[in-house]
Structure 1
Amino acid sequence: MASSPAASGPAPVAILCAMAEEAAPFVAALEGAEPVDAPLAGVEARRGALDDRPVVIVTTGIGLVAAAAAATWAATALGARILVSAGSAGGLSRESRVGDVAVAESCTYGTADATEFGYERGQVPRQPVRFAASARLVDAVPAPELRGRILSGDTFVTARNVADMREAFSDAVATDMESTAIAQVAHAVGAEFVSVRGVSDLCGPEAGVDFHIGVDEAAARSFAAVRGMLAAI
């Protein structure tokens, strides 16, 4: 039987994954797991503990709107004060390799372009150029291979447009379809935010470099890094 969203006790850490495959390692490690009724179509949530820390694992669905809706619910209805974007990502920087853990120091909408009106590339009008992650959380992630900006959008970065993205966002290390939306929600509600993603593929693979692993393997890397982070805070 699913529990109601409201619950007594410490506020949970919300770990938000787009797909069930990305949430699977978190759900498998959850102690005392119980489903939580979510008011959003396609969203699944489970409350429990991860190494004795209260958490809620939310499978949001893919994309910016799905992620923002689920993150808003987690923050307002469940009382989460830490929002963690977890799962897989595409490696964007030339240094990225499949299997790397990418941690966002900040997030930006990679496909936003209001430069005609004086805004920076990636900046939504009247919003920050980038949404900063919590330095405390970023520093707690154990030995990530990649730290920098993560881009989010509703289109894939491929060999066709990777050069443009690298030129426009030279400090970006990875790209996904959810993290910036979750970061914007955290900014709006005053919650801490971090994105911790496993690189499953490369946006512009270099010659002779492996460019793909399974989402489940990338999710396992994300899970291990998030677990280590939670143990350190």
Structure 2
Amino acid sequence: KSGIGKVNSAVGTQLMITHFSPDYVINTGIAGGISKEVKVLDIILASDTMQYDVDVTKFGYKLGQIPRMEKYIFNTDNNLLKHAKASLKNGDKYKIGRIVSGDKFISKKSTKQFLDEKFGAMCADMESGSIGHVCYINDTPYLAIRCISDDADESSHINYDKFEKEAANKSAELVIDIIKKI
């Protein structure tokens, strides 16, 4: 467990890579659903990740782009994605798409709409983008998997409390099944 938030997840990922040199990193957890296609307890397999709360557009960078870095959308590993799809259970509802990250719990419909329109996000969390960033810098393949715990709107806190544990367990079980197949 790295803890919640971009800094905690980045530090935890870097420590893991530095001390254990893993062949790959699989990050799992829960997220708020952003896309209209996504429902509570759906699984999201990340095609890529990025940080939505980076904004230095006044200096000519794109929204989400980290200054002096060409790469700011971090693609996940196709082989890990293939194993993840093969590990899904019959009846699991899943989508493949972008996971965006920021140090904020999304609880407003207007923020949800912004993340959908500007980034084409399937869901939003507080870790995947920074983990993707660290893995990119270290040339370590990675995959982010999220299970939707809430609708990322004004009802988020209610759904989150109700579905947090179930969503986290569902996401973790998938990772265990992936590791068995690799």
TM-score by length of 1: 0.68
Letter in 2 for 1:110: Y
Question: Is this contact kept in 2: 1:98–1:201, CA < 8 A?
Answer: yes
1:184 aligns with 2:126: no
Matched, 1:65 2:15: no
Runs of 4+ with deviation above 3 angstroms: 210-213
CA deviations on 1:62-85 (whole Å, 9 max, x unpaired) are 111111111011001122221111
Alignment match of 2:118 (pick from 168, 175, 184): 168
1:147 counterpart SS class = strand
Choose the corresponding residue for 1:131, options 62, 68, 74: 74
Task: Give the equivalent residue in structure 1 for 2:18.
Answer: 76
Report which structure shows greater RCO (CA 8 Å, sep ≥6).
2
**TM-score for both structures, normalised by structure 2:** 0.86
8 Å contact 1:149–1:174 — kept in the other structure? yes
Give 1:183's aligned amino acid: G
Structure 2 SS opposite 1:190:
coil
SS for the counterpart of 1:129 is coil
Higher helix fraction (1 or 2): 2
Give RMSD over aligned pairs: 1.9
Partner of 1:220: 169
Judge conservation of contact 1:137–1:194 (CA < 8 Å) in 2: yes
Conservation of the 8 A alpha-carbon contact between 2:30 and 2:171: yes
Separation in structure 2 between the aligned mates of residue 177 and residue 140 of structure 1, nearest angstrom: 24
Which has the larger Rg? 1
- Partner of 1:107, secondary structure, is strand
Structure 1 unaligned residues grouped into runs of 5+: 1-58
Identity of aligned residues (%): 30
Residues in 2 aligned to 1:129 and 1:155: alpha-carbon distance in whole angstroms: 19
Cα distance, 1:205–1:211 mapped onto 2, change above 3 Å: farther
Could you list the runs of 5+ residues in structure 2 that have no partner in the other structure? none
Question: Which segment is superposed worse, 135-144 or 101-110?
Answer: 135-144
The structure 1 residue matched to 2:55, chosen from 113, 120, 127, is 113
Aligned to 2:142: 193
Where 1:197 maps in the other structure, the secondary structure is strand
Separation in 2, partners of 1:118, 1:140: 38
